[in-house]
Amino acid sequence: MAQPISDRVFTPPPPGDFMGHPRALWMLFGAEFWERFAYYGMRALLAVYVATTFFGLLPEGEAKAQASLTYGAYTALIYATGIFGGFIADRYLGYRPSLWVGGLLMAAGLFLLLIPQLDWFLLGLAVIVVGNGLFKPNISTMVGMLYAPGDARRDSGFTIFYMGINAGGALAPLICGTLVGAHFGYKWGFFTAGLGMILGLVMFQALVSWLGPIGAAPKPERNWNRAFKVTAGCIALVPVVYLMLSQAKIVGWILMGLMLVLAVYFIGSGMRSGDKVQMHRYIAMLLLFLAKILFWGMFEQAGSSLNFFAKDYVDAPFDFTLFQSANPVFIILLAPLFAWLWPKLETRNINPSIPRKFAIALVLVAIGFTTLVLTIQHAMAGDGRIAWQMLALAYAINTMGELCLSPIGLSMVTKLAAPKETGMAMGAWFLCTAIGNYFAGAVASVASGGSGATGLAQYAETYTHIAYAGFGFGVLLMLFAPLVNRLMHGVK
């Protein structure tokens, strides 16, 4: 039988706290900062670079649509491979060696993006995708390992960690896009992102003693041999990912098939354990995974359609790539407030449950896009230009929705999953992001001209549909929240 959450074995990190949390949290915060710097730095440039460099001979709307599909497939796959990375770390290589192998592959892929040929560019993206699968879920899993089951600091700890993600994301567009890419060429922005990845690995290794036994290789004497085998496997996987990137439309079917397999796996695992509580928790986890897919499919327009929208229709005294810093900047500003808010509401017994927080997130993203639709309609009656403050406001509202879902969801996975399957469950969480990103890319291809219609009216129509979906699914989840809570059996 799976152990109840209160009885799970916990190995504490070495002594030493900073600001009320284990100091290892701050080391993982810093490593994730630089990894996210690398990711968001290239993400800020990706769709526009692809549209102008590789699809520049197509009509403008079609070029943007093709770039949006490539962007959606890439951002989908970069999260999808987390399921394999989580499994490898759980069962074979360990979390720390997985981070090293994944980080080095990501840096190599970023440097390959400097070659201005489509085949080499897609190869570089494929290498980044494979490497990210070993890095992304496993650093989040180690954050969960810092806290004992039932530790009230866990949600706040994940919110602080989420700030590290977004601090790197906030700085990256400014450095890689506005300062380097806009002045020296976007490919040098990719190079700068690769340097950030290398710096993150150096920081991780320099402070690794702060983790103590957490995340260590299960068999240190076999570590090099196992790392070599995993690296060889990753290299063998690169051509498969390359093929999927070059045939972007098949990615969605593959991802949904993977999600179905995982759903069957987790339910089967709960049934085989003979523990009805664990099986119910897996059902609740899968229902909340569905909400995550819906949210991310609506939310993740930032690097694609909103990037093209900012470039073409928004009046701003700075380069349009700087809007890619809006979401992470608002995360940094608002995350401390939310980290303080949840425990405060808990003391008054009015803290929303996890399902209700997810429902609030869906409604907030709907409000954000409604704000943008109303702004576009006003602009269409005038000179057709949008004040940059209104786009920033939409980003701020959407970010509040993200704070109700993403850091809470990271914490939720570490509490609902059985200990031996936490890494795999974290990979499934990122697979949900992958599926959402794929659908977001498809939506962006319509918004930016893929349907044949172009201009502000097309953006307004597409964003209106996003708003309707957010309001509808948010209210539905709010109504069914008590049922999901019962399935969680006391997990908060």
Residue ranges of domains in the chain:
21-488
pLDDT of residue 7: 39
Average pLDDT, the chain: 85
* Average pLDDT of the segment spanning 472-476: 95
Q: Is 454 helix (H, G, I), strand (E, B) or coil?
A: coil
Strand partners, 21: 18
Question: What is the pLDDT confidence band of residue 454, given thresholds at 50, 70 and 90?
Answer: low
pLDDT of residue 6: 37
Could you read off the pLDDT of 120-133 as tens digits, one per residue? 989 999 999 999 88
pLDDT of residue 456: 87
Residue of 241, 237, 252 whose CA lies nearest to 72:
252
Which residue stretches of 12-94 are H helix? 23-53, 60-80, 82-88
**339 secondary structure, DSSP code:** H
pLDDT of residue 163: 77
For residue 439, pLDDT over 50 is answered with yes
* Average pLDDT of the segment spanning 83-92: 82
User: 56 near 170, Cβ under 8 Å?
Assistant: no
pLDDT of residue 248: 75
Question: What is the pLDDT confidence band of residue 231, given thresholds at 50, 70 and 90?
Answer: very high
Tokens 């939409």 belong to residue: 394
- The model carries a pTM of 0.79
User: 27 near 204, Cβ under 8 Å?
Assistant: yes
Q: Is 265 left (phi over 0), alpha (psi -120 to 50) or beta?
A: alpha
What is the CATH superfamily name and number for domain 21-488? MFS general substrate transporter like domains (1.20.1250.20)
- Residues above pLDDT 70, as percent of the chain: 95
For residue 64, pLDDT over 60 is answered with yes
